[in-house]
């Protein structure tokens, strides 16, 4: 999709821009028709049925989508089952929040690692789910039969929602499955996905963060990499094998399939495929949407989160308890802080904007002979994005700087229902709500420090106030300016001194004798309601232009599909199970620079910096390195391989995905992408795109030699 493509004809240009052998997050049920021949040419030894089969065991049955009970179909990470007892791998950063939740100053599993040497030592994780795909079905024809050409976009969406619910309800009638219908290609095609969702997921093992997050923010999105990014969990079921919440009598899952683990290693050019749950890509985005992504979403997210990260770094460095409380929050914030900046750099370096505009130019030429709706698409997109720009900018400031930056104001908003309950004078309603809020508070305050929150409110509110357009200020800002003369340090200090939400103790004391007048005057409640109302107001102001963008994107994508009719087309990621295939391989990111396809433990030792929290090397690892005690996990040169790269097409949600060789064996865990091709979610770059993977042999070495968890080694089928 590079510059030479500009010389091609309109149709060929679009074909090349959307279809390449190694690009694509492919739907499993379509592999037989679309991809299997090409995959086998690249070295795959399996059939399409061995990858996806509804009636028999196949690779899909070993791949887990990790989710939350409240949102089980949106998978934040991927895992892979590696034993007949439901043991699975995922990334360390995927399990980070769970590891953190079990950590304390007395048992600092983040710093020291955690290993269960027997099943009774494994730790439950309330609210975490593990989904396994049962089946998928193309239901486009049935959904489209309810749509009529004269429908408004709103009526169209209502019709789709109605028929989708009917289809999913029918699919799981009298079963314990879960199902939903989702669109692909911007509402042009529809698929039914049926899952079995397990509710008892237990922590089994994790190396210390000094290994699992080795390199920290500095190495994030970078190659070469030396991070032991893995953790281990187990799925449990009711005694009859059905999904069930945590219970002592639950038993390990007996999976339909689990992956053999290869200790044979990898070579440059080896076939590699990845199965997982990629979150979101925007390959069909217009140049106007790309401009908003770069100038609004990425730019502001990076700038505002930079303020938050600087506060958290200082706070976490000052106290172990604060470090533990905010570890997961910091990791979540910093990941897309760096991503946003690196993606903008890559988009500019790879001239992605010019590529998008060239595609649109060719599209416009094609649309000249088509319906008027197709002809107007680009002008509609240009106008709609321009109209919503000021609101989109303001909403980003409100979201990142005030709503999700600090925590207290939004927590207060979530408790605002207590005002209506108190005003109703219905004691049963008041008692029920206060009981629920006590439970919510226990979870919220577990990882909350008032002094840290005060600093976050002061810094983020001040930054937002000084940088956003004053016409979009939430109402409470005027009061801060009037009463505190714009001094957000003083304002934050007063809030944390006087608010009933300032600590778990003050909040619980308030709930014992709740008072509506106190609640209405509370600074956190006033700020939270003001911020949330402004966020909703801005979202409403954007709604009409957003509807126009959605409809125009659908028509634009429909046109591309029509132009490429008969060609294999990969839809954008949407957190459904996908497969991507390619090869292991080195690359040249720029002039005179060559990156080998794997790294070794030598690099870990070379990067060690005792003065940096990002490059600490545990003494035990140094001792094993010095003794060259790597067990049976070295390569043919006697090296302890740590990570490797492949040209697989992945994105967020793929974290923890199995990297599988030609024989269907696990060779690694996908965990990152490379900075040179951070444009990949929008424009796949075939020469530079690399997926960074943990070599599973390094994980096996750590489990056996570092942790001594032979119980886990014996449980896996390790192919040597």
Distance (Å, whole) CA 123 – CA 132? 21
452's CB contacts (< 8 A; 6+ apart) are: 311, 312, 315, 322, 325, 326
Give the residue among 258, 223, 252 at the shortest CA–CA distance from 238. Answer: 252
Judge whether 371 counts as a catalytic residue.
no
Catalytic residue among 655, 657, 675, 679: 655
Helices (H), 213-258: 216-219
Q: Structure tokens of 467?
A: 């940088």
Catalytic residue among 75, 93, 226, 257: 93
The full 3-state SS of 434-473, as one line of letters, equals: HHHHHHHHHHHHHCCCHHHHHHHHHHHHHHHHHHCCHHHC
From the CB of residue 322, how many other CB atoms can be counted at a distance below 10 Å? 18
Distance (Å, whole) CA 588 – CA 594? 5
Judge whether 93 counts as a catalytic residue.
yes
Distance (Å, whole) CA 378 – CA 171? 39
Judge whether 318 counts as a catalytic residue.
no
Long-range contacts of 112-118 (CB under 8 A, 24+ apart): 112/208, 113/205, 113/206, 113/207, 113/208, 113/211, 113/212, 113/707, 114/203, 114/205, 114/206, 115/204, 115/205, 115/206, 115/707, 115/708, 115/709, 116/203, 116/204, 116/205, 116/709, 117/709, 117/711, 118/711
Distance (Å, whole) CA 432 – CA 35? 55
Q: Structure tokens of 705?
A: 């030699």
Q: Which helix (H) or strand (E) holds 400?
A: none
718's CB contacts (< 8 A; 6+ apart) are: 260, 261, 262, 263, 700
Catalytic residue among 229, 270, 672, 681: 229
Catalytic residue numbers read: 93, 229, 655
């Amino acid at each position: 999709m590079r510059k030479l493509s500009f010389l091609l004809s309109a149709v060929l240009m679009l074909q090349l821009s959307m279809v390449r052998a190694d690009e694509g997050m492919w739907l499993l049920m379509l592999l037989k028709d679309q991809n299997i021949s090409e995959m086998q040419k690249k070295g795959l030894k399996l059939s399409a049925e061995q990858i996806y089969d509804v009636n028999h065991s196949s690779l899909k049955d070993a791949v887990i989508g990790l989710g939350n009970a409240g949102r089980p179909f949106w998978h934040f990470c991927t895992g892979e089952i590696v034993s007949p007892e439901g043991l699975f791998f995922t990334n360390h950063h995927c399990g980070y929040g769970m590891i953190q939740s079990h950590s304390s100053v007395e048992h600092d599993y983040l710093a020291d690692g955690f290993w269960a040497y027997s099943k009774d030592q494994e730790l439950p994780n309330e609210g975490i789910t593990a989904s396994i795909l049962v089946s998928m079905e193309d239901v486009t024809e049935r959904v489209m039969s309810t749509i009529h050409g004269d429908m408004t976009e709103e009526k169209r969406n209502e019709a789709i929602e109605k028929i989708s619910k009917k289809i999913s309800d029918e699919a799981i009638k009298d079963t314990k499955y879960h199902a939903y219908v989702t669109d692909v290609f911007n509402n042009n095609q529809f698929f039914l996905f049926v899952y079995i969702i397990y509710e008892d997921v237990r922590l089994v093992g994790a190396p210390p963060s000094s290994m699992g997050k080795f390199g920290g923010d500095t190495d994030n999105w970078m190659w070469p990499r030396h991070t032991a990014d893995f953790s281990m969990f187990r799925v449990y079921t009711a005694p009859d094998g059905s999904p069930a919440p945590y219970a002592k009598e639950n038993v390990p899952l007996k999976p339909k399939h689990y992956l053999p683990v290869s200790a044979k290693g990898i070579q440059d050019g080896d076939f590699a495929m990845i199965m997982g749950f990629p979150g979101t890509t925007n390959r069909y985005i217009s140049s106007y949407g790309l401009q908003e992504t770069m100038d609004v979403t990425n730019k502001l997210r990076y700038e505002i989160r930079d303020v938050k990260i600087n506060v958290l770094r200082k706070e976490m460095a000052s106290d172990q308890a604060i470090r533990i409380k905010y570890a997961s929050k910091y990791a979540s914030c910093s990941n897309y802080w760096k991503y946003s900046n690196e993606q903008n750099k890559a988009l500019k370096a790879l001239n992605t904007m010019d590529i998008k505009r060239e595609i649109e130019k060719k599209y416009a030429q094609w649309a000249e002979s088509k319906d008027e709706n197709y002809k107007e698409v680009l002008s509609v997109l240009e106008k709609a994005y321009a109209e919503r720009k000021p609101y989109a900018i303001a909403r980003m400031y409100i979201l990142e700087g005030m709503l999700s930056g600090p925590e207290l104001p939004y927590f207060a908003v979530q408790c605002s229902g207590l005002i209506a309950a108190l005003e109703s004078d219905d004691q049963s309603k008041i008692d029920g709500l206060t009981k629920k809020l006590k439970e919510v508070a226990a979870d919220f305050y577990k990882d909350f420090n008032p002094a840290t929150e005060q600093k976050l409110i002061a810094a983020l509110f001040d930054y937002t106030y000084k940088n956003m357009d004053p016409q979009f200020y939430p109402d409470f800002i005027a009061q801060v300016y009037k009463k505190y003369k714009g001094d957000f340090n003083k304002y934050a200090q007063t809030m944390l001194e006087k608010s009933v939400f300032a600590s778990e103790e003050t909040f619980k004391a308030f709930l014992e004798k709740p008072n509506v007048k106190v609640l209405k005057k509370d600074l956190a409640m006033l700020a939270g309601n003001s911020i949330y109302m402004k966020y909703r107001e801005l979202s409403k102001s954007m709604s009409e232009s957003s509807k126009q963008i959605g409809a125009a994107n659908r028509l634009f994508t429909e046109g591309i599909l029509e132009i490429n009719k008969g060609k294999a087309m990969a839809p954008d990621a949407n957190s459904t199970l996908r497969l991507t295939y390619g090869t292991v391989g080195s690359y040249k990111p720029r002039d005179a620079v060559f990156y080998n396809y794997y790294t070794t433990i030598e690099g870990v030792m070379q990067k060690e910096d005792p003065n940096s929290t990002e490059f600490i090397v545990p003494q035990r690892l140094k001792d094993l390195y010095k003794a060259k005690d790597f067990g049976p996990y070295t390569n043919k040169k006697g090296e302890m391989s740590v990570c490797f790269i492949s040209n697989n097409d992945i994105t967020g949600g793929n974290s923890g995905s199995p990297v599988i060789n030609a024989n269907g064996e696990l060779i690694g865990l996908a965990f990152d992408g490379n900075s040179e091709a951070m444009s990949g979610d929008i424009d796949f770059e075939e020469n530079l795109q690399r997926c960074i993977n943990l070599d599973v042999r390094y994980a096996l070495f750590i489990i056996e030699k570092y942790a001594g968890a032979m119980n886990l080694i014996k449980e896996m089928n390790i192919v040597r």
